[in-house]
Amino acid sequence: MNFDFTDDQHAIKRTAKEFLAARYKPERLRELAEAGEYDDAVWAEMAELGWAGIFIDEQHGGQGLGIVELVILMEELGYALAPSPFFANAAAGLVLQGAGTDEQKQRWLPGIASGEGTGTVGVLRDGGAPLVPDADTAAVLVLLDENGGGTVVTGADAEIEPRATIDSTRRFSSVRATGGEPLGSDTEGARAAICTALAAELTGVAQRAMEMAVEYAKDRKQFDRPIGAYQAVSHRCAQMLLEVEGARSTTYYAGWAADNEPESLPLAASMAKAYASDAGWRVTASSLQVHGGIGFTWEHDLHFFLKRAKTDGHLFGGAREHRDRVAGLALRSGAAVGA
Partner 1 sequence: MDLTLSPKEQAFRDELRAWMEANHPGEEPEGDEAAFEFRTAWQRKCHEDGWAGISWPKEFGGRGATLIEQAIFNEETVRAKAPAQANVLALAMGGPTVITHGSEEQKQRFLDPILSADEIWCQGFSEPDSGSDLASLKTRAVKSNGGWKVTGQKVWTTFAHHAKWCMLVARTDQDAPKHQGLTYFLMDMEQEAVQVRPLVQITGEAEFNELFIEEAEIPDENVVGGVGNGWGVAITTLMHERATLAFGLQVQVKIALAELVQLVRDEGLDDDPVIRQRIGQLVTEAEVLRLNAYRGLTQIMKTGVPGPEGSLGKWHWSDVNQSLTETAMEVRGPEAPVVDGEWTYRFLRARANSIEGGTTEILKNIVAERVLGLPKLR
Q: Does 242 bind partner 1 (CB under 8 A)?
A: yes
The residue from 47, 138, 214, 269 that contacts partner 1 (CB under 8 A) is 214
Give the closest residue to 91 by CA, choosing from 125, 132, 42, 61. 132
Give the closest residue to 254 by CA, choosing from 310, 197, 202, 201. 197
How many Cα neighbours within 13 Å face the side chain of 105? 18
The residue from 139, 239, 285, 314 that contacts partner 1 (CB under 8 A) is 239
Radius of gyration of the chain (CA): 20
**Span from 17-25, 97-105, 152-160, 254-262 in contact with partner 1 (CB under 8 A):** 254-262
The residue from 250, 286, 287, 311 that contacts partner 1 (CB under 8 A) is 250
Longest dimension (CA), the chain: 68
Q: Does 294 bind partner 1 (CB under 8 A)?
A: no
**Span from 16-24, 25-33, 125-133, 270-278 in contact with partner 1 (CB under 8 A):** 270-278
Q: Does 15 bind partner 1 (CB under 8 A)?
A: no
The residue from 271, 306, 309, 315 that contacts partner 1 (CB under 8 A) is 271
Q: Does 13 bind partner 1 (CB under 8 A)?
A: no
Residues whose CB is less than 8 angstroms from the CB of residue 338 and which lie 6 or more positions away in sequence, other chains included: none
Q: What is the nearest approach in angstroms of partner 1 to the Cβ of residue 190?
A: 21
Give the closest residue to 24 by CA, choosing from 317, 301, 212, 335. 301
Q: Does 318 bind partner 1 (CB under 8 A)?
A: no
Backbone angles phi, psi at 10, to 5 degrees: -60, -40
Site size with partner 1, rule: CB under 8 A: 54
* Residue closer to partner 1 (CB basis): 8 or 40: 8
Q: Does 189 bind partner 1 (CB under 8 A)?
A: no
CA distance 265 to 255: 8
Instruction: Measure CA 133 to chain center.
Output: 11
Q: Does 262 bind partner 1 (CB under 8 A)?
A: no
CA distance 249 to 247: 6
Q: Does 208 bind partner 1 (CB under 8 A)?
A: no
**Span from 50-58, 75-83, 175-183, 242-250 in contact with partner 1 (CB under 8 A):** 242-250
Task: Please report which residue ranges of 66-221 form alpha helices under DSSP H.
Answer: 67-80, 86-99, 102-114, 188-219
* Residue closer to partner 1 (CB basis): 260 or 297: 260
Give the closest residue to 116 by CA, choosing from 66, 64, 46. 46
Give the closest residue to 202 by CA, choosing from 122, 307, 129, 297. 307
Q: 98, exposed or middle or buried, with CB in 10 Å at 0-12, 13-18, 19+?
A: buried
Q: Does 292 bind partner 1 (CB under 8 A)?
A: no
Q: What is the nearest approach in angstroms of partner 1 to the Cβ of residue 64?
A: 17
- Region 40-69 residues binding partner 1, contact defined as CB under 8 A: 68
Tell me which residues touch partner 1 (CB under 8 A): 1-6, 9, 68, 214, 217-218, 225-226, 228-231, 233-235, 237-239, 241-242, 245-246, 248-250, 252-253, 255-256, 260-261, 271, 274-275, 320, 322-328, 330-331, 334, 336-339
